[in-house]
Chains A and B, each alone.
Chain A
Amino acid sequence: MGDKSDVLQGTLDLMVLKTLESMGPLHGYGIARRIEQVSCNSFSLNQGTIYPALLRLQQRGWIKSEWGVSETNRRAKFYSLSRIGRKKVEEETENWERIAATMARFLAPSN
Chain B
Amino acid sequence: MDWIRILLSRFRSLFGRRALDADLDEELRAHIELATAENVKHGMAAETARIEALRAFGGVTQVRESYRMQRGMPFLEQLARDFRFALRQLRKSPGFALTATVTLALGIGANTAIFSALNALLLRMLPVRDPQQLFTVLLMNGGTQPPNTRGTGYGNTSFSFPVYEALRSQARVFSDLIAHVPLGLGKVPVRHGNTPSAKVGEEVSGNYFSGLGVAMLHGSALTESDERDHAAKVVLSFSFWTEAFSRDPAAIGQTLYIKDVPFTIVGVTSPSFYGVDPGRAVDFWIPLQERHELNAWGVPGDEGSLYSSPNWWAVPMVARLAPGVSPEQAQQALQAVFWQAASIGVGTLDAKRWPAHLGFAPIRGIASYAKVYRTPVKIMMALVALVLLIAVSNVALLIVARNAARQREFAIRIATGARASRVFRQLLTESVLLVFAGAALGWILAIGATRVLAVWAQIDTGLAPDRLVLLFTLGTASLVALVFSLAPFRSAVQISLDQALRSSSQSMSQSRHYMRNGNAAIAFQIAMCFTLLVASGLTVRTLLNYEGQNLGMQAENLLIFDVNPQGLTGNVQARSFYVRLLDRVRALPGVKAASLVQFRPGSGWLSSGGIQLDGNQAQTSSGAKAEIYTNSVGPDFFHTMGIPVLQGRDISAEDTFNRHLVVVVNECFAREFLPNGALGHHLDKGAEIVGVVANSKYRSVTESNMPTIYYPLAQTGMTGQVTVEIRTAGDPMAQLPSIRRAIQDLDPNLPLQNPMKQATQFEKSYVTPELFARLALGFGLLAVVLVSTGLYGTMVYRVQRRRGEIGIRMALGAVRGQVLRMILRESLLIAAIGFAAGLPLSLTVSHLLRSELYRLSSLDPVSFAGAMAITLLVVLGAAFVPADHASRIDPMQALRSE
Contacts and interface: CB of A to CB of B under 8 A. Distances in A.
Going nearest first, the 7 A-B pairs with the smallest beta carbon separation are A46-B58, A48-B63, A48-B58, A76-B30, A59-B9, A29-B34, A59-B6
A26 B110 CA distance: 66
Contact of A46 (B35, B57, B67): B57
Given A60-B5, A76-B27, A70 B34 contact: yes
Given A52-B66, A58-B9, A60-B5, A28 B31 contact: yes
6 contacts: A28-B27, A28-B30, A33-B38, A46-B58, A47-B31, A48-B60
B59 A48 contact: yes
Contacts of A47: 31, 35, 56-58
A56 B34 contact: no
A84 to B, nearest CB: 9
Contacts of B24: 51
B379 interface: no
Nearest to A28: B31
A58 to B, nearest CB: 7
A72 interface: yes
A73 B6 CA distance: 33
B58 A27 contact: no
A55 interface: yes
Given A55-B70, A59-B6, A76 B34 contact: yes
Contacts of B34: 27, 29-30, 70, 72, 74, 76
Given A48-B60, A51-B63, A75-B26, A29 B31 contact: yes
A61 B58 contact: no
A75 B57 contact: no
Interface in A48-73: 48-49, 51-52, 55-56, 58-61, 70, 72
Given A29-B31, A48-B62, A72 B37 contact: yes
Contacts of B67: 51-52, 55
Contacts of B9: 58-59, 61
B10 interface: yes
What band does the interface of chain B fall in when counting residues whose beta carbon is under 8 Å from A? 20 to 34
Contact of A70 (B10, B26, B30, B60): B30
Given A28-B30, A30-B34, A46-B56, 7 more contacts: A27-B34, A29-B35, A51-B63, A59-B6, A70-B30, A74-B37, A76-B30
Contacts of A76: 27, 30-31, 34
Interface in B43-79: 56-60, 62-63, 66-67, 70-71
Contacts of B62: 48
Interface string A65-97: 000001010111100000000000000000000
Contacts of A56: 70
A60 B6 CA distance: 6
Interface in A15-35: 27-30, 32-33
B409 interface: no
B63 A77 contact: no
A109 B67 CA distance: 42
A99 to B, nearest CB: 19
How would you classify the secondary structure of chain A's contact residues: helix, strand, loop or mixed? helix
B2 interface: yes
A61 B30 contact: no
A29 B63 contact: no
Contacts of B556: none
B30 A77 contact: yes
Contacts of B10: 59
A45 B58 CA distance: 9
B40 to A, nearest CB: 10
A35 to B, nearest CB: 12
A27 B30 contact: yes
Contacts of B27: 28, 51, 76-77
B60 to A, nearest CB: 7
Contacts of B38: 33
Given A47-B56, A48-B62, A51-B28, A74 B6 contact: no
Given A59-B6, A60-B5, A48 B57 contact: yes
Nearest to B9: A59
Contacts of B63: 46, 48-49, 51-52
A24 B34 CA distance: 18
B33 interface: yes
A33 B63 CA distance: 17
Contacts of B56: 46-47
A70 B66 CA distance: 26
Contacts of B30: 27-29, 70, 74-77
Nearest to B2: A60
Of A28, A47, A60, A77, chain B has the most CB atoms within 10 Å of the CB of A47
Contacts of A61: 2, 5, 9
A70 to B, nearest CB: 6
A49 B62 CA distance: 9
Nearest to A65: B27
A51 B67 CA distance: 7
Contacts of B70: 52, 55-56, 59
Nearest to B61: A48
A59 B35 contact: no
B54 to A, nearest CB: 10
